[in-house]
Amino acid sequence: MYRVLKFIWQSLTNAMADEYEETITERQKRILAIIIRDYIENAQPVGSQRLVEAYGVDASPATVRNEMAFLTQKGYLKQPHTSAGRVPTEKGFRFFVRHLMGQVDLPLSVQRTITHQFHQTRPDLDTPRRLCISQSISISCSGNIPSSASITV
C-alpha cells in the first residue's frame, strides 16, 4: 500500500511541477522566500523597505519593488491594496515549498506512528483509505485500487 501511495504522490507532484517551470532569478527567489517567511511570522503585507532594512537585501527599495512587481505579475505575490506591501499567493506558497524550503524530514516518532497505523490496517483494504482521509489525505479509489491522491494543506 505504501508503494502505491508513494507512486501516486510522485506522479501527482511531477505533473504539477511543470506548472512552476517559469524562470525566476536567484534574487527574485530570495525575495520571495523572505516575503513568505516574514508573512508566516507576522501575517502582514511585506514592503520593499522592510526587505532592505530588516533582511539586508542587497538592492535599493526601488529595485526590490520592481522585483516584487514582477513576482506579482507572475502570480507568486499579490498586493491587497495600492499602498500595501505584498502577500504570497497559493502559487507563491507552492513554489516556496517545492523549491525554496528545502527537504524537511519528519521526526522519527512521527514516522513510526504513521508506519504503525498503516501496519495495523493490513487485513482490511478499505481501512487505509479511511485512515488517509482522517489524516487529511484523500484517495480516490476504483474498487480497492487507489487511482489518485491529494494532501490537503
CATH code for the domain of 68: 1.10.10.10
Same domain, 92 and 114: no
Share of the chain above pLDDT 70, in %: 63
Q: Apex CA 39: angle with CA 33 and CA 41, to 5°?
A: 105
Task: Kindly state the average pLDDT of the residues 37-52.
Answer: 93
The C-alpha atoms of residue 69 and residue 71 are separated, in whole angstroms, by 5
Q: According to the model, what pLDDT value does residue 143 have?
A: 45
Do 47 and 89 fall within a single domain?
Answer: yes
Q: What is the pLDDT of residue 126?
A: 58
Considering the domain architecture, whether residues 83 and 56 belong to the same structural domain is answered as: yes
Please tell me the predicted confidence (pLDDT) of residue 137.
Answer: 46
58 pLDDT higher than 80: yes
Q: Are residues 51 and 89 in the same domain?
A: yes
Mean pLDDT, the chain, whole residue set:
77
Please give the model's pTM, rounded to 2 decimal places.
Answer: 0.58
Domain coverage including residue 58 = 21-100
- 37 vs 3, residue with greater confidence: 37
| Mean pLDDT along residues 121-126 | 60
Q: Is the pLDDT confidence value at 141 over 50?
A: no
Q: What is the mean pLDDT of residues 45-64?
A: 92
Q: Give residues with Cβ within 8 angstroms of 62, minimum separation 6.
A: 48
Grid cell in block for residue 24? 525566476
Q: What is the mean pLDDT of residues 33-53?
A: 93
- Domains held by the chain: number: 2
Evaluate if residue 122 carries a pLDDT over 90: no
pLDDT of residue 112: 86
CA 138 to chain centre: 17
